[in-house]
Amino acid sequence: MRRLTYFIACSIDGFIGDPKGDASSMFAYVDTEFLEFLKAEYPETISAEGRRMLGLDGLENVRFDTVIQGRGSYQVGLDAGMTSPYGHLREYVASRTLAAPPDPRVRILSGDLVAAVRELKAEDGGLGIWLCGGSEIAGELFEEIDELVIKTYPQVYGSGMPMFGSGFTLADFTLDTVRTFGNGALVRQYTRRR
Protein backbone atom coordinates (compact mmCIF):
# COMPACT_ATOMS: atom_id res chain seq x y z
CA MET A 1 0.00 0.00 0.00
CA ARG A 2 1.40 3.36 -1.05
CA ARG A 3 1.41 6.20 1.48
CA LEU A 4 -0.18 9.63 1.18
CA THR A 5 2.11 12.29 2.66
CA TYR A 6 0.95 15.83 3.32
CA PHE A 7 4.23 17.71 2.76
CA ILE A 8 3.43 21.33 3.48
CA ALA A 9 4.95 24.64 4.58
CA CYS A 10 3.36 26.57 7.41
CA SER A 11 3.85 29.39 9.88
CA ILE A 12 4.54 28.78 13.57
CA ASP A 13 0.82 29.16 14.23
CA GLY A 14 -0.17 26.56 11.62
CA PHE A 15 -1.20 28.64 8.61
CA ILE A 16 -0.16 27.60 5.10
CA GLY A 17 -0.90 31.03 3.70
CA ASP A 18 -2.41 34.39 4.50
CA PRO A 19 -6.22 34.81 4.34
CA LYS A 20 -5.99 34.82 0.51
CA GLY A 21 -3.66 31.78 0.45
CA ASP A 22 -0.44 33.68 -0.32
CA ALA A 23 2.59 32.05 1.31
CA SER A 24 5.31 33.86 -0.63
CA SER A 25 6.81 35.30 2.58
CA MET A 26 7.97 31.76 3.44
CA PHE A 27 10.23 31.57 0.36
CA ALA A 28 12.78 33.72 2.17
CA TYR A 29 13.65 30.69 4.32
CA VAL A 30 14.67 28.47 1.40
CA ASP A 31 18.36 29.26 1.79
CA THR A 32 21.39 27.16 0.79
CA GLU A 33 21.15 24.85 3.82
CA PHE A 34 17.43 24.28 3.35
CA LEU A 35 17.80 23.73 -0.39
CA GLU A 36 20.51 21.12 0.21
CA PHE A 37 18.11 19.32 2.54
CA LEU A 38 15.36 19.37 -0.10
CA LYS A 39 17.74 18.14 -2.81
CA ALA A 40 18.84 15.20 -0.65
CA GLU A 41 15.59 14.22 1.07
CA TYR A 42 12.67 15.56 -1.00
CA PRO A 43 14.01 16.47 -4.46
CA GLU A 44 10.69 15.82 -6.18
CA THR A 45 9.12 18.70 -4.24
CA ILE A 46 11.26 21.19 -6.18
CA SER A 47 9.21 22.35 -9.15
CA ALA A 48 10.31 21.56 -12.69
CA GLU A 49 11.06 25.25 -13.22
CA GLY A 50 13.05 25.42 -9.97
CA ARG A 51 15.04 22.37 -11.03
CA ARG A 52 15.77 23.94 -14.41
CA MET A 53 16.87 27.25 -12.87
CA LEU A 54 19.13 25.50 -10.33
CA GLY A 55 20.58 23.04 -12.84
CA LEU A 56 18.97 20.08 -11.05
CA ASP A 57 17.08 18.48 -13.94
CA GLY A 58 18.73 15.09 -13.35
CA LEU A 59 17.62 14.68 -9.72
CA GLU A 60 16.00 11.30 -9.06
CA ASN A 61 12.69 11.08 -7.22
CA VAL A 62 13.35 9.74 -3.71
CA ARG A 63 10.00 9.57 -1.93
CA PHE A 64 7.17 10.39 -4.34
CA ASP A 65 6.19 9.54 -7.90
CA THR A 66 2.76 11.18 -7.77
CA VAL A 67 1.55 14.63 -6.67
CA ILE A 68 -1.98 15.78 -5.87
CA GLN A 69 -2.71 19.45 -5.47
CA GLY A 70 -5.77 21.60 -5.17
CA ARG A 71 -6.96 24.04 -7.79
CA GLY A 72 -5.64 27.04 -5.85
CA SER A 73 -2.16 25.53 -5.49
CA TYR A 74 -2.14 24.63 -9.16
CA GLN A 75 -3.19 28.18 -10.07
CA VAL A 76 0.02 29.52 -8.49
CA GLY A 77 1.98 27.51 -11.07
CA LEU A 78 -0.33 28.55 -13.90
CA ASP A 79 0.06 32.20 -12.96
CA ALA A 80 3.83 31.72 -13.21
CA GLY A 81 3.47 30.16 -16.67
CA MET A 82 3.87 26.54 -15.51
CA THR A 83 1.13 24.28 -16.89
CA SER A 84 2.92 21.20 -15.48
CA PRO A 85 4.77 22.44 -12.38
CA TYR A 86 5.83 18.93 -11.36
CA GLY A 87 6.36 17.27 -14.75
CA HIS A 88 8.81 14.81 -13.17
CA LEU A 89 5.84 13.27 -11.26
CA ARG A 90 2.38 12.01 -12.19
CA GLU A 91 0.36 15.16 -11.62
CA TYR A 92 -3.23 15.32 -10.42
CA VAL A 93 -5.24 18.46 -9.71
CA ALA A 94 -8.36 18.19 -7.57
CA SER A 95 -10.84 20.61 -9.10
CA ARG A 96 -14.57 20.87 -9.67
CA THR A 97 -14.16 23.97 -11.87
CA LEU A 98 -11.30 23.06 -14.23
CA ALA A 99 -12.87 20.98 -17.00
CA ALA A 100 -9.71 20.17 -18.93
CA PRO A 101 -6.08 20.60 -17.95
CA PRO A 102 -4.00 23.06 -19.95
CA ASP A 103 -1.27 20.39 -20.15
CA PRO A 104 -1.63 16.73 -21.21
CA ARG A 105 0.66 15.63 -18.35
CA VAL A 106 -1.87 16.87 -15.77
CA ARG A 107 -4.96 14.83 -14.84
CA ILE A 108 -8.03 16.40 -13.26
CA LEU A 109 -9.75 14.73 -10.29
CA SER A 110 -13.27 16.14 -10.30
CA GLY A 111 -15.29 13.33 -8.75
CA ASP A 112 -14.91 11.44 -5.50
CA LEU A 113 -11.47 12.55 -4.33
CA VAL A 114 -11.25 10.03 -1.48
CA ALA A 115 -12.04 7.13 -3.82
CA ALA A 116 -9.47 8.36 -6.36
CA VAL A 117 -6.77 8.59 -3.68
CA ARG A 118 -7.64 5.12 -2.36
CA GLU A 119 -7.15 3.76 -5.90
CA LEU A 120 -3.76 5.47 -6.17
CA LYS A 121 -2.71 4.15 -2.76
CA ALA A 122 -3.73 0.61 -3.75
CA GLU A 123 -1.47 0.56 -6.83
CA ASP A 124 1.38 -1.94 -6.76
CA GLY A 125 4.93 -0.68 -6.47
CA GLY A 126 6.06 2.83 -6.95
CA LEU A 127 6.94 5.52 -4.49
CA GLY A 128 4.58 7.51 -2.30
CA ILE A 129 1.96 10.12 -3.08
CA TRP A 130 2.60 13.75 -2.20
CA LEU A 131 -0.36 15.88 -1.16
CA CYS A 132 0.99 19.29 -2.12
CA GLY A 133 -1.90 21.44 -0.96
CA GLY A 134 -4.23 23.04 -0.29
CA SER A 135 -6.21 23.38 2.83
CA GLU A 136 -9.60 22.19 1.55
CA ILE A 137 -8.38 18.98 -0.08
CA ALA A 138 -6.20 18.24 2.96
CA GLY A 139 -9.37 18.47 5.02
CA GLU A 140 -11.28 16.27 2.59
CA LEU A 141 -8.46 13.69 2.53
CA PHE A 142 -7.67 13.90 6.24
CA GLU A 143 -8.48 10.23 6.98
CA GLU A 144 -6.31 9.08 4.05
CA ILE A 145 -3.18 10.95 5.17
CA ASP A 146 -0.56 8.51 6.46
CA GLU A 147 2.27 10.94 7.10
CA LEU A 148 2.77 14.64 7.76
CA VAL A 149 5.96 16.45 6.82
CA ILE A 150 5.60 19.99 8.09
CA LYS A 151 8.11 22.64 7.09
CA THR A 152 7.63 25.29 9.78
CA TYR A 153 9.03 28.73 9.11
CA PRO A 154 9.65 31.20 11.97
CA GLN A 155 6.76 33.48 11.12
CA VAL A 156 3.43 34.14 12.82
CA TYR A 157 0.52 34.94 10.52
CA GLY A 158 -2.15 35.48 13.17
CA SER A 159 -4.84 34.33 10.75
CA GLY A 160 -5.01 32.84 7.31
CA MET A 161 -5.43 29.52 5.55
CA PRO A 162 -5.20 26.64 8.07
CA MET A 163 -3.37 23.41 7.29
CA PHE A 164 -6.70 21.57 7.21
CA GLY A 165 -9.79 23.29 5.89
CA SER A 166 -12.31 21.11 7.69
CA GLY A 167 -14.32 20.85 10.84
CA PHE A 168 -12.92 19.51 14.08
CA THR A 169 -11.24 16.14 13.69
CA LEU A 170 -8.96 14.50 16.23
CA ALA A 171 -6.21 12.12 15.14
CA ASP A 172 -2.98 11.07 16.80
CA PHE A 173 0.36 11.07 15.02
CA THR A 174 3.78 9.91 16.22
CA LEU A 175 6.71 12.31 15.86
CA ASP A 176 9.43 10.50 13.89
CA THR A 177 12.04 13.18 13.22
CA VAL A 178 12.77 16.87 13.67
CA ARG A 179 15.34 18.70 11.59
CA THR A 180 16.33 22.24 12.54
CA PHE A 181 18.02 24.82 10.33
CA GLY A 182 20.24 27.80 11.08
CA ASN A 183 17.63 30.22 9.72
CA GLY A 184 15.08 29.15 12.35
CA ALA A 185 13.06 26.82 10.10
CA LEU A 186 12.36 23.25 11.11
CA VAL A 187 10.92 20.16 9.46
CA ARG A 188 8.89 17.68 11.48
CA GLN A 189 7.89 14.27 10.21
CA TYR A 190 4.91 12.46 11.77
CA THR A 191 3.29 9.07 11.12
CA ARG A 192 -0.42 8.53 11.75
CA ARG A 193 -1.21 6.13 14.59
CA ARG A 194 -3.63 3.55 13.23
CATH number of 160's domain: 3.40.430.10
Residue 181, judged by CB atoms within 10 A of its CB (0-12, 13-18, 19+), counts as middle
Distance CA 45, CA 105 (A): 17
> What would the pLDDT profile of 11-30 be if each residue is shown by its tens digit?
999 999 999 888 999 999 99
| pLDDT of 171 | 93
Q: In this model, does residue 133 exceed pLDDT 90?
A: no
| pLDDT of 183 | 97
Q: In this model, does residue 127 exceed pLDDT 90?
A: yes
Dihedral sign computed on CA atoms, order 107, 109, 113, 118: negative
Cα angle value 128/133/137 (rounded, 5°): 95
**pLDDT confidence of 166, banded at 50, 70, 90?**
confident
> What would the pLDDT profile of 91-109 be if each residue is shown by its tens digit?
999 998 988 889 999 999 9
Distance CA 56, CA 33 (A): 16
| pLDDT of 190 | 98
Q: What is the mean pLDDT of residues 49-58?
A: 91
| pLDDT of 168 | 79
The H-assigned helical ranges of 21-132 are 32-41, 48-54, 71-79, 113-122
Structurally, the chain folds into a number of domains equal to: 1
Beta strands in 12-171, from DSSP E residues, in sequence order: 15-17, 64-70, 90-94, 106-109, 128-133, 147-153, 161-162
Residues 6 or more apart from 104 whose CB is under 8 A from it? none
Cα angle value 128/164/24 (rounded, 5°): 85
DSSP state of 183: T
Which structural domain range is residue 114 located in? 4-192
> What region, left, alpha or beta, does residue 141 occupy, with left being phi > 0 and alpha being psi -120 to 50 degrees?
alpha
CB under 8 A, 24+ apart: contacts of 21-27: 21/72, 21/134, 21/135, 21/160, 21/161, 25/155, 26/153, 26/155
| pLDDT of 99 | 83
| pLDDT of 147 | 98
3-state SS class at 39 = helix
